[in-house]
Structures are given as structure tokens and as C-alpha cells.
Amino acid sequence: MGTLWSKGTSATQIVEDFTVGNDRILDMRLAKHDVIGSKAHIKMLTSIGLLEQDELEKLTAGLDRILEEINSGEFSLNDDVEDIHSQVELLLTQRLGDIGKKIHSGRSRNDQVLVDIKLFLREEIELFRDEIVALFNTLTQLSEKYKSVLLPGYTHAQIAMPSSFGLWFGAYAETLIDDMYMLFGAYRVVNQNPLGSAAGYGSSFPLDRDMTTSLLGFASMNYNVVAAQMSRGKSEKAIASALSSLATTLNKLSADCCMYMCPNFGFIKFPDELTTGSSIMPHKKNPDVWEIIRGNCNRIQSLPNEISLMTTNMSHGYHRDYQLLKDVLFPALEQMHKCLFMAKYMLENITVNEDILKDEIYTYLFTVEEVNRRVLEGMPFREAYKEVGIEVNQGKFKYEAKQLNHVHKGSLGNLCTQEIKDKMQKALF
């Protein structure tokens, strides 16, 4: 394979195939961002006298044409081109002649890919932010809609205390705020400009890094050129950790839904068209969507560890190992987008059982309520606990659910939905 930087020799085809790996496929996701980064770079090069104004105009027009081809789906990487950076430079050179060869002045593929990935991840994080908010809104709406519908609470998978669908939906809504905090942390890591670090040791050109930082909309820059290169892997791990936190939330929600759909519980149901059947059992309504979300989220929770292992034992500076991060991160991003969409779609079509606690099996759900009632009447807590325990053992315990009176903040009688909404607003970025 020939390259733009060929010095008269080249690696064997088998080495090229092995080292390039899936880059030609995965780099298509970075194509738009590579062009955007290049446009900012050539404006800066013009400002420091390395490009003439007419060259800038021609290169900008050439890059805009490539961007149009990317947006229309006409763009592709040649089989004999190693990566997106090389493809863009090759096209400019073929179409514009020698001025296309000037675009790489003052940078390396090392800082070029860093810019591409950070712009890409920043955009991905912004999409996740909006998707989380959409799911959050669905959950808070359901929480308010079903706030008076009681639901058994469980600890150790045993009947514990009364809960409500309002509490259940609201719990996942508020938990998403924690995930938003994690996502914002990743955003701050990613939103720093590495352009100008070149191969990790800067450039003898008087690059204006403040200019490219502004043009690309970064909040700050990775000032130290070595530190900029060391951000490779950190950025990926930061968003992986955020995704892992979000996956934990969706995983638990999925597990709940799988269990609550079971006829032995019968707490919730979904339309037939959102469930699947059995090849031999005509009665089955399987929670396949929630199971797939649960499985994908289990995989995503392993992502930070996988990235940690892939970036271990490497000294500072660039190593080709970093290329492999795209192989594990990019598919995970795609799967999480799908999981968020499907979770919201399923919840929008949920039906809840409003008569769950009429079943006598849930009688003991109210033992704590009775203990507390007697304490409020003046009985010492341990005496009340003992009396109720004896009544349970003797099969004499009775309680009317309508007597429930939970009023403290965050309880089933005081969901604090508006406070949770305000909390989410403060978490947004």
C-alpha cells in the first residue's frame, strides 16, 4: 500500500491489513469532524502566513465539497487509503493540486485524530444528554400519572413495604440525574482542544492554538502538548464510565420490567406487538425488548474496564494500541442510543395494574405501617414491633391500605416531582 508520506518503501500487505484493521469502516464516523477540524486548521495557517488567502478559499471550497459528499452519503474511503485523514488530504490534492499538500502543515495524524474523536464524542454526549432528558420526562410523567397506585416494595426479593408506581417511575427519573452528572464530567474532559500538539511535542511553526480552540468551539485546550496526547484513552474512558453509569440504570429498569411482566407478578403489561411469542407455547408474551436492553447494558457496563486494560502499560506518547479503542467504543455508543430509544418507546406504551394490593398475599406489606401507628399512639417501638410480630405468627394480622399516610419528602405521599425536575435542570449542560 502506498501512502501520502511514503519514503520509497512500504510495509507488506499483510502488515498493512493487520495494522489498519477496521479503521476504514470506523473512520467514516469521524469524516465530518475531520473536515471541520481541517477547516479550522487552514484558517489558522493563513493567519500565521503559511497559506495565502486565495489558497485558503480554494481549500475551504474543497473541504466544503467533501463535507457535502459526506452528508449526502457519496463519500467513501479508498481501499488503498489508510484512514480518514489521508483520504481527505488525497482528495484535496487530486482536485486542487499542490495546495492540497499544504493542509497538513503544523499537525500530525496524532493530533488530527484527537481532534476528530473529541469533536465526535462531544456531539455524541450532546445527543445522549437530549435522549436522557426525553426518557426522564417520560418517567416523571408516568410518576405523576400513577402516583396513587400502590405497588409492593421488595428487599432481598421478599415482600417488604408498600411502594407506588409513582415512587418506582420517579426513582428511575432521579437516578438519571446521577447519570447526567457523569455525562457532564465526560463532556468537560472531551471539550478541550488538542490541535497543535502535533505528534505530541508541538511544532516549530508559530501555531495560534487559541484561534483553533475558538473556531472549533472548545471550552479550553489541552495546553501541554504531551498532556494533549495523553488525553487519548482518557476521553474514551470518561465517556465509557458515563455510559456504564447510564447502563446500570437501564439494566435495573429492564430487570424490573422483565420481572413485573411475569404473570406471577402481573404488575405491568405491554401491547402484544411490543412483546414476542413462543414457537410452541401459544400463551407466551415474552419481554424480549427489555431482555435485549438488559443484555446490552451488561456489556456496556464492562466498557470502562475493557478500555482500562487496553490502555495499561503504555508510556506517554502515541501508541498504535489506541486505534483499537474505536473498535469497542463506537459500537457501544450506537447500542446505548438504541437502548435509550427503546426504553422510552416501551414506557410510553406501558399499562399498570391498579389493583395489585387487593391480593391477600400482600397483607404483610403493611406490618411496618401498623408498628408505626402504634408508636404514634404512644407505644415504645420495640413493644409495637413485638406485638405485630406475634400477630403475624398467629395469623391474626390485619391492615387496611387506605390508612397509609406518608408525607415526608420523597415518600409515596410526597414524590417531590417538581424538585426532581428542578434538579435535572441544574444538571444540564
Rounded Cα distance, 102 and 80, in Å: 21
The confidence score (pLDDT) of residue 18 equals 79
Give pLDDT tens digits for 102-144: 999 999 999 999 999 999 999 999 999 999 999 999 999 999 9
- Are 344 and 334 contacting, i.e. CB atoms less than 8 angstroms apart? no
Rounded Cα distance, 328 and 354, in Å: 43
pLDDT > 50? residue 1: no
**Predicted model pTM:** 0.91
Rounded Cα distance, 114 and 100, in Å: 21
Q: Which domains does the chain have, with CATH numbers?
A: 13-105 (1.10.275.10), 110-207+224-357 (1.20.200.10)
Mean per-residue pLDDT for 236-258?
98
- Are 197 and 229 contacting, i.e. CB atoms less than 8 angstroms apart? yes
Give pLDDT tens digits for 325-336: 999 999 999 999
